[in-house]
Amino acid sequence: MKTTLKISLITILVIVLVAVGFFANECYQYAKAVQNDAQRIFKKSKDYILGLSFDGVIVEKTYNIDYYENQYSVTILLHQVEPKPLNKIGYYTYYNFISDSLLTICIPQNVYNQIEIGEEVIKKANDYNIEVGEKKMLILSSTEKEWLP
């Protein structure tokens, strides 16, 4: 009787452990899929901004203390942008087209400190920099998994 009880308890324990292992594996696979999807969206968004060319004028500078990253941004009134964006596209806290002629984009603090409202901005396609006056300033990181330099 005791042997049968021990075998039954061990069998139940093994079944519970297998079920917990299966559940843990499913959670891991889901988390991995979410992480891969987030990295794909990040890369696609960064590649989009990298490939963008535009010129315009800075109409607003914003510092957001509530964000851990991407605290500094500028809003640019675009004179020209290629390729033309679809209205209201973006990647939250990194960039946002409020309309087809208004772009808000996060920038590094050192760039934020060097530019002023009213200055002309030029960004060429496949360039990590913007040109403001005579200054060329790095706004995108060349490191794959980082946005800001």
Q: What is the pLDDT of residue 78?
A: 95
What's the number of CA atoms in the CB half-sphere (13 Å) around residue 110?
10
Which of 73, 81, 79 has its CA nearest to residue 56? Answer: 79
Which of 147, 42, 146, 44 has its CA nearest to residue 105? Answer: 147
Q: Which residues of 23-36 are buried (b: 16+ CB within 10 A; e: fewer)?
A: eeeeeeeeeeeeee
Cis check for the bond before 83: say yes or no (omega within 30 of 0).
Answer: yes
Count structural domains, the chain: 1
The lowest-confidence range among 40-49, 84-93, 119-128, 132-141 is 84-93
Q: The domain containing residue 110 runs over which residues? A: 1-149
Q: What is the pLDDT of residues 17-42, one digit of tens each?
A: 888 888 888 998 889 998 989 899 89
Number of helical H runs and strand E runs in the chain: 2, 8
Contact 50, 41 (CB under 8 A): no
Q: What is the pLDDT of residues 136-149, one digit of tens each?
A: 999 999 998 899 99
